[in-house]
Amino acid sequence: MDRSQATGLFLISALLLVYLFFFSPKDKVEKDKAQAPTSAAAKAAAPTPGVAPAPQLDSAAGPVRSIELQNPELTLTFSTQGGRVAAVRLNKYKTFFGKPLDLFDAQSARYNTKFRTLNGQTIDFAGLNFSASAPTPAADGGQQLAFTAPVGGGTITQTYTVPKSGYEVKYNLKLNGVAVAQEPLQWSFVDNVRQTEQDLKQNRNHTTINHYLATDDHGALAETSEKPEEMKIATPIKWAADKHDFFVAGFIADSQPFASGQFNSNVNLTDSTFIKGLSTSLALPVADVTSASGGQYRFFFGPNQ
């Protein structure tokens, strides 16, 4: 091997070493390692799941329908889902901002009732699509609307009577032939309150849940508190009412008092839609709603007089 050949081999070897050092496959391994945390971070930043859907409807009543009844003071929207009052408008009032005064609607509030059958099944009215009768004339010249659903070998019937005029709506709940457990039914009202007055803070501070006991004692959650409030009542209750400053959504027991109740409120200061959240749970005596005449109640939707 002459000198020129030796020099050529040396240069080739040097180039090969340089290539292996700078272009080794370990670059891909290091690159993959560097990308792994980014992928994990991307997974962690994925949006959280939305709110769980409403219970699946269990009825042969067809599609969910809305039914509207009116008198001079009230416009009531009923839903066949749950056979409930879904929205209330006070016809003679406006908000401070000149808008119709909706005491609540399907986006802000929900009534519901649950009970257990003898075999331990929970019947949730929100999961039932009730059949609705055509409105019929009531004795006082108002209108009557009945919702029925077959359950547990029997029938649930809810009857609403809207007066010719006024703010009180009669409500009758009857379980006929239903194999219901001998324990109270759980009636609930979740009510997210919107601003209706000029001063938001004052509007919030005058919003609460009032209740009246069978012993003629009155109670209420702290109005001005911005912390979660809770009150549990173990004695019979005549009525409970959500007070929206100047307006009220109340529920009154006529035949038998509610056996017990729980009231909650909370404030989310970052919420620009609702000024306060209210929640009521009342125990309906099972003997009342399974009696021949059913449980007799009243809703009051109107001014806080």
Please state the rounded mean pLDDT for residues 120-132.
97
pLDDT at residue number 208: 98
Dihedral sign for Cα 211, 213, 216, 220, please. Answer: negative
What residues are paired with 102 via a beta bridge?
89
pLDDT at residue number 61: 62
Please state the rounded mean pLDDT for residues 24-41.
41
More reliable by pLDDT, 34 or 169: 169
pLDDT at residue number 62: 79
SS (H, E, C) 35-77: HHHHHHHHHHCCCCCCCCCCCCCCCCCCCCCEEEEECCCEEEE
Q: Is the pLDDT of residue 14 over 90?
A: no
Q: Is the pLDDT of residue 28 over 80?
A: no
Quick one: pLDDT band at residue 127, thresholds 50, 70, 90? very high
Q: Is the pLDDT of residue 46 over 70?
A: no
The strand pair at 154-162 and 185-193 is best described as: unpaired
Cβ-based burial of 197 (10 A; exposed 0-12, middle 13-18, buried ≥19)? middle
Q: What percent of the chain has pLDDT over 90?
A: 78
Q: Is the pLDDT of residue 3 over 60?
A: no
Q: Is the pLDDT of residue 24 over 70?
A: no
Q: Is the pLDDT of residue 13 over 60?
A: no
Please state the rounded mean pLDDT for residues 74-101.
98
Please state the rounded mean pLDDT for residues 278-297.
98
Alpha helices in the chain (DSSP H): 3-22, 26-44, 200-205, 286-289
Q: Is the pLDDT of residue 22 over 50?
A: no
Q: What percent of the chain has pLDDT over 70?
A: 80
What residues are paired with 284 via a beta bridge?
185
Q: Is the pLDDT of residue 20 over 80?
A: no
Question: Residues 294, 295, 300, CA angle at the centre, nearest 5°?
Answer: 135
Q: Is the pLDDT of residue 36 over 50?
A: no
Quick one: pLDDT band at residue 55, thresholds 50, 70, 90? low
Main-chain dihedrals φ then ψ at residue 101, nearest 5 degrees: -90, 95
pLDDT at residue number 60: 55
Please state the rounded mean pLDDT for residues 72-87.
98
pLDDT at residue number 92: 98
pLDDT at residue number 43: 36
pLDDT tens digits, one per residue of 197-240: 999 999 999 999 999 999 999 999 999 999 999 999 999 999 99
Task: State the pTM of this model.
Answer: 0.81
Q: Is the pLDDT of residue 38 over 50?
A: no
Q: Is the pLDDT of residue 7 over 80?
A: no
Question: Residues 54, 158, 188, CA angle at the centre, nearest 5°?
Answer: 50
pLDDT at residue number 305: 80
